Chains A and B, each alone.
Chain A
């Protein structure tokens, strides 16, 4: 069974830092492009950023509101993706989900359709 489990959410002061983890199982993690999405209380979903697989270049992209403050990394030996969050602001308060797309044959939907999600981890900046 494909599974994603986030951890690391906490209450943190503005300006503080936090690192979230997302442990994956049930699929070949090293081939997957991993994405972080967040949902602020009472708000919609917001794409945070994505890291490609190493074979895909291993590069990262971030949403404008978090660029320069958040960093996504991955450890393929541990099947884990991380979200390092620095200079946290109150508006970063949200449930953070890690998620992945999927492939059908040779057609992969890494960036446009997210098929498996974790249960989310709550980050409160206050």
Chain B
């Protein structure tokens, strides 16, 4: 499996909404509803913000939402805040133990203008 495809960067102003796409294939994103999203601030551990396409772990702001259509998953952040500036990675379960069990996206750098 190749890495999932994400835009390298997105930007938005405080209060706006942005959407980050994550494109895979029919073997991963398109096949399983096991897409997750992670937020990475420099020097910190990744933080899970979405699992199973659209579920938020306890404590994660409802400004973060996820969806999926076909082979593409999306993360939407509404009401952008300065602290949302970070790198965001998607991942998908592949069910394949021969290559890689979980495939990640290349990451998207979110800049809050």
* Interface, chain A (partner B; CB < 8 A): 35, 37, 43-47, 50, 61, 63-64, 97, 99, 102, 109, 111-115, 117-120
Contact = CB atoms under 8 A, between A and B. Distances in A.
Interface of B: 3, 32, 34, 36, 38, 44-48, 51-52, 57, 89, 91-93, 97-107
Contact of B100 (A63, A115, A120): A63
A28 B106 CA distance: 32
A44 B7 CA distance: 12
A97 B103 contact: no
Q: Among A45, A46, A102, A109, which residue has the most Cβ atoms of chain B within 10 A?
A: A45
12 contacts: A44-B107, A45-B91, A46-B104, A47-B104, A99-B46, A109-B52, A112-B92, A113-B34, A114-B48, A115-B57, A117-B46, A119-B44
Contacts of A119: 44-45
Contacts, number: 69
A47 B36 contact: no
Contact of A118 (B45, B93, B106): B45
B101 A111 contact: yes
Contact of B48 (A44, A47, A113, A118): A113
Contacts of A97: 45-46
A61 B46 CA distance: 22
B36 A113 contact: yes
B51 A109 contact: yes
